[in-house]
Amino acid sequence: MRLHWLILAGVLLAAPPLSAQVPLPSYGTPGAPAYQPPGQPAPGLDPANNPLDALLMRWEQEMTLVQSLDAELTRTTDDKTFGTMEVYMGKAKYLKPNLAMLEMRKKDNPETFEKYVCTGTYLYEYVPRNKEIRVHELPPPKPGQVADDNFLSFLFGMKAEEAKRRYDLKLVKEDAYYLYVEVLPRSPADKADFQRARLVLNKKTFLPRQLAFEQPNGNQILWDIPRIVNGAQVTRTEFERPEIPPGWNMKRVVHATEANPQEEVPPRVVRPNQ
């Protein structure tokens, strides 16, 4: 899910704890505007009269200042189909411009884990059940962008106007510590990933404290960030090609465009499973 990469970028400075876990609001059937293809002009910004526009412009400004991040994360998945609740706990790190790491372990069974290491050129995906590390070659960024078309670029490479063009955003609540933003997808690719999302931003740092989203099948996923550090001592060696654990193997994943160079459609962004 591309939304997961938001968490890799969205970890800054310790935030005051939320008094309670904020549930997904009941919106009914969201009427998202039609998707605007990349060639369409982005909507204009009016920060003087539109609080959302002012927020987006401040967000864009703050994100350009981020150099390194370190966080502790909790992910709770509410599976509506099977009536189960699954909790993973872990950590994420980020180093500008495009180095990231995410490691999550199941709360009641730490031997069950997920791990991803992004070197900027490759994404290494740990698959414990197969005892293998899958290697995904990342497409080079387009001119003027810092990353491919995903939430990492949303935070660090996307302008405020572009964010409004791609997502239907609404500032739905504001309190002493947090800003609550509703996110609805516009494009078919994003709609295949999620129906709606709620982003809770720290009012001082403009970085996420929580991210909740609903998948097309109705499952709800909540990311919580209880500890976040800006300017953490993170080194490039933490994002190098990982050593292969004993008994494991490393496997390169060939994407559709590599197998068929004539295809002009770019490969889908590699995402964590949840």
Fold topology of 4-15+45-159+221-259 = outer membrane lipoprotein receptor (LolB), chain A (2.50.20)
Residue 1 has pLDDT above 80, yes or no: no
**What is the pLDDT of the chain when averaged over all its residues?**
77
Nearest to 126 by CA among 94, 161, 98, 90: 90
Token pair for residue 78?
A: 């509410």
Band of residue 230 on the pLDDT scale cut at 50, 70, 90: confident
What is the DSSP secondary structure assignment for residue 203, as one 8-state letter?
Answer: T
pLDDT digits (tens, 9 = 90+) for 33-83: 434 444 455 567 888 889 999 988 888 888 788 889 899 999 999 999 999
Q: Which residue has the higher pLDDT, 145 or 62?
A: 62
Token pair for residue 112?
A: 């069950």
What's the pTM? 0.76
Main-chain phi, psi angles of 19, to 5 degrees: -70, -25
User: Average pLDDT for residues 136-150, to the nearest whole number?
Assistant: 62
Main-chain phi, psi angles of 225, to 5 degrees: -120, 85
Can you give the pLDDT at residue 248?
98
Cα distances (Å, whole numbers) of residue 208 to 8, 14, 81, 98, 265: 10, 11, 28, 18, 32
Amino acid at 190: D
What gap in Å lies between CA 230 and CA 13, rounded to an integer? 5
Burial 98-107 (b: 16+ CB within 10 A, else e): bbbbbbbbee
Band of residue 142 on the pLDDT scale cut at 50, 70, 90: low
Q: Count other C-beta atoms under 10 Å from residue 160's C-beta.
A: 22
Can you give the pLDDT at residue 45?
86
Residue 180 has pLDDT above 80, yes or no: yes
Instruction: List alpha helices for the chain, DSSP H.
Output: 4-9, 51-63, 151-156, 160-166, 188-193, 256-259
Q: Which residue has the higher pLDDT, 79 or 268?
A: 79
Can you give the pLDDT at residue 15?
25
> Is the CB of residue 194 less than 8 Å from the CB of residue 1?
yes
